[in-house]
Structure 1
Amino acid sequence: VNSEPKDWISELPQCILVDIVNLVDTKDAAKTSTLSEKWKYLWTMRPDLKFDHHNLFGSNHEIRKFRIEQYHFDFVPYRSEFVKRVNHIMQQHCEDTCLLSSPIAPGDFRGLSNLTTLKLESVVMEDDFIASVFSNCLLLEDLTLKTCDSFSKLLVVGSSLRLVHLKVIRCLKIVNFVISAPNLTTFEFSGNVLLLSSLEAPSLEKMYIYVCGGSGIPHAFNLFTNLPRFENLYLTLPIDLRKVEGKPKSLGSFRNLKQLELFYGGDSELTWLLSILNALPLLQNLSLMFCIERIEEDQTMQGINVGGTTLDQLKHVEMGGCVGNWYEIEFAKFVLRAATKLEKLVITPVKRYYLGDGEEFDLSLVSSWPESDRARVHGSLKGEVPAGIQFIVL
């Protein structure tokens, strides 16, 4: 009689064994290849592989503690070993990879024909590196470049590109940036928008743009003109626009854009804000974050020159970062008068700032304002609210 216990786990169907392997980290998953012939290649069927310092090489927490805190993943002492392992492993069924905070230039991507998602953060690379990624990773759909300051030229161009999502966040040394991507639906860019010389993306629906100064606003809107499906914009204007010389010119008309989230540096006449709203005749949802943190000394209700601004389609408005300045109240009055289809108006001191790549920062000095200020704002507006509109001062 064979007294050895039967290996019941190995008798399970392959799909269940793959699910088991997916429950452990990459290093332990690779170890299962030594169990038996049946297990030899199971781990290569994982849909994602995580290559960090701990998984590949182990760690010495006492010695490496500072370095681990300072750098997300540090491959410098192990470059040759890391590249060799990645080139071997990636030739399997890997579809998703993420290289974070590596100060070395990645090797070529010839073994990554199945790659669909790539994120590079603080990675040193040459100007032609991204072109080599696109030429080798023909299935790439999601690309994120974050704080990669070693390259100056970024060309995302090609009629055969499958790229759907592109994020270029705080890559501050780019001086030549061109995009021509037929399948791109979402785009995030934080940097000098004046350097984005061309944007051709007929499928683009959603965009986040950080604009450094007033001169960048017309340029940014010029880039939006050839985007027939563009409906959702997050626009960050962090500077005090009162310091920008000159008044805004016409920004054209963007008939498809329906949702705008605007972080507004502010000018008490709201000239830039009104110019932007004039360009969006079909706007339905507006989230406006004021970034001026102080009460203006002159609280006289001076009125706002709204010109020909119309808000015919506007339904929902949230005004955040409010401190009770007169122009905040006047803008709310204008919305209540001009937005004939308005359903809801919310005014709050809470101020959130989107940093790109899913990061959001709460800039609120307070989560609620003094009751006297809240009562003053509410009292100034309650008589202006038409019947049927939900009016909330948080």
Structure 2
Amino acid sequence: MGGWLSKSSPTPNTLLPDRLSNLSDDILLHILACLNDTKYAVQTSVLSKRWRHLWTSVQDLNFHRKSFFGDSSFHNFVRAVLTHQRRLNCRVDRFRYYGNLDATMLTQLTSYALSRSARELVIASRSYIARTIHPDLSSGSPTLKTLHLELLCICRSSFGHSMLRLTSLHLKSVIATSGSLGGCFDIFNIFPSLTNLSLSCCYLGGANLKITGPKIVSLKLNDVTDVGLLELSLPNLEVFEYYYFPRVYEKVHDFSSINLPTLRHAELNVDREGLSVKVLQGIRNVESLVINFKAVKESGLLENQNSPFRNLKSLKFRYMLARRVLPATLMTYFTSGTQYSQDLQFEFML
């Protein structure tokens, strides 16, 4: 009655072979990197002598406050890891920090990441107190390609002119100050290789926002508030996503100029009536357009306007609810000018 199960099953005292430790260093380092938390990577050092120093060769550092009981233990761990890595002169590829911080900690994080030639740097504060702290990235980095800053305060002097390879910049919930530029926040032209730019829930303090860049192909503006005038001059932009949900006391953004000659896709999700004709004319080259119906449904300004959309192939209206018939004025404005009117794809979306 023993059967095959009893013959093949190990007894409680049987030691199974450690096949994992027999894998190559490259595979084990890949496994540690996939843990996505440096704390867990460090904890593997107690498994065996084979694992003791392996974590120090992982080139992705990910620090998460949620893995600790308090800020003190979290900060002590981060400093201990950085000290240990600095002593071993370890290289860093991706450096990500998610947690509360002060000015001293912020300086330690950024200086370490830049000095180790990181290609990706994420500093995501979890405290609104940090929105008074300026990161100092003025030393620059010839290797940095992706930068994500969250809940901080930035100005032009926060960045260095040697970030020649930066291709992606993501700013979330930051306070952007104009500094000495006469009330205009204009920093993006100092990144000559920038291709992807995202501003989400950023506060401009009444300053004008000017976005220029010869290589930017994707731009996302999501609920950027307290802006004076908006100016977009992006000769190679292909994708533009614009989301704005103004509070009762806020007005719709005023665009001083829009130059987007190569634009192919645009999504305009403005939750307020009064989207200016200047915006629509500025995106006239789009082939695909998604727009919030509320932004244009009562716009009498479109009645006597010629349609600027010569290349429109796909048109989608969001949030029309039960209404499925587009007013004639809007239909004429958006569709009468396109050379693809016979094949135009039209859709209502929630």
TM-score over 0.5 (shorter chain): yes
Query: 2:169·2:194 contact (CA, 8 Å) conserved in 1?
Result: no
Query: 1:205·1:229 contact (CA, 8 Å) conserved in 2?
Result: yes
5 Å-filtered alignment, 1:1-394, equals 7-22=18-33, 26-53=38-65, 55=67, 59=69, 74-76=70-72, 79-80=75-76, 82-89=78-85, 91=88, 92-104=90-102, 105-106=104-105, 108=108, 109-110=111-112, 113-122=116-125, 124=130, 129-131=136-138, 134=140, 139-149=143-153, 154-159=157-162, 161-172=164-175, 174-176=177-179, 194-196=184-186, 199-208=189-198, 216=208, 220=210, 223-224=211-212, 227-235=213-221, 255-263=235-243, 276=257, 279-292=259-272, 313-322=285-294, 325-327=297-299, 330=302, 337-349=307-319, 369-370=321-322, 373-375=323-325, 377=327, 381=331, 386-394=341-349
- Cα deviation digits, residues 207-243 of structure 1 (max 9, x gap): 3456859972xx51xx52xx333343334686799xx
Per-residue deviation, 1:147: 1.2
Q: Per the alignment, do residues 391 and 378 of structure 1 end up closer, same or farther by CA in structure 2, a change over 3 Å counting?
A: farther
Q: Per the alignment, do residues 287 and 334 of structure 1 end up closer, same or farther by CA in structure 2, a change over 3 Å counting?
A: farther
Per-residue deviation, 1:88: 0.7
Query: 1:232·1:257 contact (CA, 8 Å) conserved in 2?
Result: yes
Per-residue deviation, 1:145: 2.0
Q: Per the alignment, do residues 310 and 234 of structure 1 end up closer, same or farther by CA in structure 2, a change over 3 Å counting?
A: closer
For 1:311 and 1:21, the matched residues in 2 are separated by: 46
Q: What is the DSSP-based 3-state SS (H/G/I as helix, E as strand, rest coil) of the residue aligned with 2:286?
A: coil
For 2:71 and 2:269, the matched residues in 1 are separated by: 41
- Cα deviation digits, residues 70-110 of structure 1 (max 9, x gap): xxxx4236655642333214643442222223233316345
**What is the one-letter code of the residue matched to 2:310?**
T
**Counterpart for residue 64 of structure 1:** none
Q: Per the alignment, do residues 328 and 234 of structure 1 end up closer, same or farther by CA in structure 2, a change over 3 Å counting?
A: farther
For 1:129 and 1:375, the matched residues in 2 are separated by: 53
| Runs of 5+ unmatched residues, structure 1 | 60-73, 179-191, 297-303, 350-367
Seq. identity, %: 19
Q: Per the alignment, do residues 391 and 119 of structure 1 end up closer, same or farther by CA in structure 2, a change over 3 Å counting?
A: same
For 2:226 and 2:148, the matched residues in 1 are separated by: 29
Deviating 4+ runs (over 6 angstroms): 237-241
Per-residue deviation, 1:202: 2.9
CA RMSD of aligned residues (A): 4.8
Per-residue deviation, 1:346: 1.4
Per-residue deviation, 1:323: 7.1
Per-residue deviation, 1:128: 7.0
For 1:240 and 1:173, the matched residues in 2 are separated by: 10
For 1:160 and 1:323, the matched residues in 2 are separated by: 38
Per-residue deviation, 1:340: 2.9
Q: Per the alignment, do residues 319 and 41 of structure 1 end up closer, same or farther by CA in structure 2, a change over 3 Å counting?
A: same
Q: Per the alignment, do residues 142 and 34 of structure 1 end up closer, same or farther by CA in structure 2, a change over 3 Å counting?
A: same
For 1:380 and 1:9, the matched residues in 2 are separated by: 64
- Cα deviation digits, residues 51-86 of structure 1 (max 9, x gap): 33565xx64xxxxxxxxxxxxxx4236655642333
Per-residue deviation, 1:315: 1.9
Per-residue deviation, 1:390: 1.8
| Runs of 5+ unmatched residues, structure 2 | 1-13, 247-251
Query: 2:123·2:149 contact (CA, 8 Å) conserved in 1?
Result: yes
For 2:55 and 2:295, the matched residues in 1 are separated by: 56
Normalization by structure 1: what TM-score?
Answer: 0.59
Q: Per the alignment, do residues 382 and 143 of structure 1 end up closer, same or farther by CA in structure 2, a change over 3 Å counting?
A: closer
For 1:129 and 1:283, the matched residues in 2 are separated by: 34
Aligned residues: 310
